[in-house]
Amino acid sequence: MTSISGSVPDTPPPPGLALEDTDLWDAAVSLLRRTYRSGRHEVAAAVRTRSSGIHVGVHMAGSAGRTSICAEGMALGAVLAATPPELSLADEIDTVLAVLHRPGIGMRIVSACGVCRELLFDYCPEAWNYVHRFPDDAPPPGTPEAVYLPETGRGIREVPALAPGSAERLRVRELMPAKNVRSW
């Protein structure tokens, strides 16, 4: 298992990240540095609430695909645990950010997967969320660059490169424009 040591140089926030959200970036990067395990814990999320600060979660890969839990869901669970029952998560959650790490390449904002978009929409459709925007001159989808990294006990492993790009801040509801807000 590969882990990230505390000696990894500081990872600067990506272009496009709002200044007020650098604390979210720092919290997610810090968590990922402590918990990263190749193939098991590769994404961390940070959620800012209006009354109880920043809560974090890390991706938990399971041996049976569906048993895996995304970092965003873990972070939302931490928010729920810290939120008094009289407060609504929809009113409490302000911003969500997730970070992906690839060894030898670095860290970047990662967009919420389809399941996480559904979850975020159910609980906090008006919250801010970050997505990774590829530059206009990026290769078309389906032609990702690959890098080859040495991995202890496995030889050389091909992994997708982290395409350059920037962070874009959107409302969760903008990720799913045709969906209606669920009444619980």
Listed by start position, the domains of the chain span 19-175
Longest dimension (CA), the chain: 53
Residue 36 · residue 101 · CB < 8 Å: yes
Give the pLDDT confidence of 137-174 residue by residue, as tens digits: 665 555 555 555 444 555 555 555 566 778 999 999 99
CATH superfamily of this structure's domain 19-175: Cytidine Deaminase, domain 2 (3.40.140.10)
Tell me how crowded residue 144 is: count the other CB atoms within 10 A of its CB.
13
Query: In the prediction, which pLDDT does 156 show?
Result: 52
Query: In the prediction, which pLDDT does 129 show?
Result: 96
Enumerate residues 6+ apart whose C-beta is below 8 A from 128.
21, 94, 95, 96, 169, 170, 171, 172
Distance CA(126)–CA(120), nearest Å, equals 9
Q: What percent of the chain has pLDDT over 90?
A: 55
Best CA proximity match to 132, nearest among 160, 158, 98: 98
